[in-house]
Chains A and B, each alone.
Chain A
Amino acid sequence: MSSTEKIIEIKQLVKHYGKFKAVEDVSFDVHRGDVFGFLGPNGSGKSTTIRTMLSLITPTSGEIRLFGIELYNNRNYILSKIGCIVEKPDFYKYLSAEKNLELFGRISGVAITKSKIHEIIEFVGLKGREKDKLSGFSHGMKQRLGIAQTLIHDPDLIILDEPTTGLDPQGIIDIRNLILQLKNERNKTVLLSSHILSEIELIANRMVIINRGKTIIQGSVSELLNAQELIVSIKVDDVRKSCQLIENASSTATIDHVENDSIQLHLTQEMIPTINKLFCDNGVQVFSIEVKRKLEDYFLKLINN
């Protein structure tokens, strides 16, 4: 359950580079305790928005408030409460993992001890590699170290830009669990930008979708997705008969797509057993019923419209 306290408030954010409009009108709020999904296709302005929030980029206009206060007059205080990964995490190749964390931890606004560093390194699964130079680290290891450096100073807000890129399936699960742990156990607020929509769907409670520099929609994930129809793919032995049955039934289900051995329908969740019974009663053998990813389709529908 999301609290009403706003940790991030973005209002009518605009960023132009000459004639090019990277961000035209982005507005959204992130509440305390949210795992907030930040979605948009490539080039939609996600990265620009995140960089503006972190004062890496100066906006052309618009308001950015973090922790209830305006960003640009309280930059150092605000940044001391944020841990972030912006795109891929880059570190000093000629230093070890431990030294890198020490370096960044030293200017994070809190005192960082060696034991804290070792604890975090173990937490992200890099125990035993802390003395190794970064030049020998794989992409996945650097990603883990990136997450370590976001947590080293125990921030209130964590901004993760594509945190699972390059990780193996176990790594992706670990990150997902970590994020949930941060939210549930430590009451952290997480802003998560990712292209893996299934991950967002699984862990985010609120989200915003932007396209071409503008906010398309924002709100609770469950409310936004449940209000929409599902796309269900049903594998049958007689596709033609199945289509006829659907048309004759005058149900709320509509045919989206037909293939040789399956039929794709738009329908609500409640209609699934009804359609299954309809096929079975009329001699159509049903081999499988698959609910396609809601968010992915929802996302694509919004973007293409």
Chain B
Amino acid sequence: MFWKSTYNEFIKIAAKPRSYIGIGAITLLVGIILFAMKMDGKMYISFITAPFEQSLSFEGNVLNGNLMAFIILNMLIIHVPLLVALVTGDLVSGEGAMGTIRLLLTKPISRTQLLLSKYLAGCAYTLVILLWMGLMALFVGKMLFGSGDLMVLKSDGLIILQQGDLGWRFFYGFLVAFLSLITVATLSLTLSCFSENSIGPIVSTMAIIILFTIIGTLDVPVFDSIRPLLFTTHMAAWRSFFEDPLPKSQIINSVVVLFVHIVGLLSIAIYKFNRKDILS
């Protein structure tokens, strides 16, 4: 019954117009970035290499598809979580607002199974969003800009990663990025269990992300103890795969923190959903 319910949820997500907002937005955003870089990418490169330009010259295909993919992935921080929450935040509360929750919960499927089937479908949607972004970024980027080494700009310098060394980095980077987006999906689904309308969970999810991001970036000692525990601090963990040497313990720590958030939030969602009186 769980898989039947999951299949139902896939159908619902695929049929909802709002599901295509995310895909459309990513296509547009990626297209705009690629167009802008095609027109003025050299200026962007100059900005990166400016501190060295007096003495050094960077030869080779600096503005390449791999750099485009990296820049586009950086969008993950604020933009794509919203697109994910737009769908996953509606999974439970949307049914309440529509009234279909009444009928759904009178079917012979446990509430836990129903919620998990919605969650699985939401995760699948998140994967589609990420894969689409990866496809656009890597393949279209390489078609337009060719291949080459990746220049990663950090606050303490430049790292230039050879193109032969990038495949596994992008793969694991995407995996960890997926994990961070799943955390956002789980948060919005949990908030959805507490709400009777669609907008509340979506706005609340974004508000929490923005608030935690601000706390994470404020260089104030009072937040030092909680900063490592915030999931937003670890949402950019995928970028660790583009460092040399690879900060393995940092990556593992981020993965663990994100997993703990996912499990904790999902537990709260299951508890709330099971005890919820359906009054709408």
Query: B15 contacts which chain A residues (CB < 8 A)?
Result: 92, 94-95, 99
The answer, among A54, A55, A57, A107, for a CB contact under 8 Å with B5, is: A107
- Interface size counted on chain B using CB atoms at 8 A: 26
User: Is A80's CB within 8 Å of the partner chain B?
Assistant: yes
User: Is A56's CB within 8 Å of the partner chain B?
Assistant: yes
User: Is B56's CB within 8 Å of the partner chain A?
Assistant: no
Whether A79 contacts B278 by the Cβ 8 Å rule is no
- Kindly state the separation between the CA atoms of A56 and B114 in the bound complex, as whole angstroms: 14
User: Is B162's CB within 8 Å of the partner chain A?
Assistant: no
Query: A251 contacts which chain B residues (CB < 8 A)?
Result: none
The answer, among A77, A80, A103, for a CB contact under 8 Å with B11, is: A103
* CB within 8 Å for A54 and B275 given contacts A93-B98, A107-B1, A107-B5: no
Chain B 231-267: CB-based contact to A (< 8 A → 1; otherwise 0): 0000000000000000000000000000000000000
Query: A93 contacts which chain B residues (CB < 8 A)?
Result: 98
* CB within 8 Å for A79 and B100 given contacts A57-B277, A107-B1: no
Query: B46 contacts which chain A residues (CB < 8 A)?
Result: none
Query: A109 contacts which chain B residues (CB < 8 A)?
Result: 1, 107-108
The answer, among A58, A88, A95, for a CB contact under 8 Å with B275, is: A58
- Kindly state the separation between the CA atoms of A90 and B104 in the bound complex, as whole angstroms: 10
* CB within 8 Å for A103 and B8 given contacts A56-B102, A76-B109, A92-B15: yes
Whether A75 contacts B110 by the Cβ 8 Å rule is yes
Whether A99 contacts B11 by the Cβ 8 Å rule is yes
User: Is A26's CB within 8 Å of the partner chain B?
Assistant: no
User: Is A104's CB within 8 Å of the partner chain B?
Assistant: yes
Whether B8 contacts A87 by the Cβ 8 Å rule is no
User: Is A289's CB within 8 Å of the partner chain B?
Assistant: no
* Shortest Cβ distance from residue B88 to the other chain A in the assembled complex, whole angstroms: 17
List A residues 103-120 near B (Cβ within 8 Å): 103-104, 106-109
Whether B100 contacts A107 by the Cβ 8 Å rule is no
- Interface size counted on chain A using CB atoms at 8 A: 32
The answer, among B8, B17, B99, B105, for a CB contact under 8 Å with A94, is: B17
Query: A56 contacts which chain B residues (CB < 8 A)?
Result: 102, 105-106, 277-278
List B residues 220-240 near A (Cβ within 8 Å): none
Contacts A/B (CB < 8 Å), 24 sampled: A51-B279, A56-B106, A57-B279, A58-B277, A75-B110, A76-B108, A78-B108, A79-B108, A84-B106, A86-B102, A86-B106, A90-B100, A92-B12, A92-B98, A94-B15, A94-B17, A99-B11, A104-B107, A106-B4, A106-B5, A106-B8, A107-B8, A107-B107, A109-B108
**Which 7 A-B pairs rank lowest in CB-CB distance, beginning with the nearest?**
A90-B99, A80-B108, A56-B278, A76-B108, A79-B108, A109-B108, A57-B277
Could you list which residues of chain B lie within 8 angstroms of chain A, going by C-beta atoms? Answer: 1, 4-5, 7-8, 11-12, 15-17, 98-100, 102-110, 275, 277-279
Additional A-B contacts beyond A51-B279, A80-B108 (14; CB < 8 A)? A51-B277, A56-B105, A76-B1, A76-B109, A77-B108, A88-B99, A90-B103, A92-B12, A93-B98, A103-B8, A103-B11, A104-B107, A108-B108, A109-B107
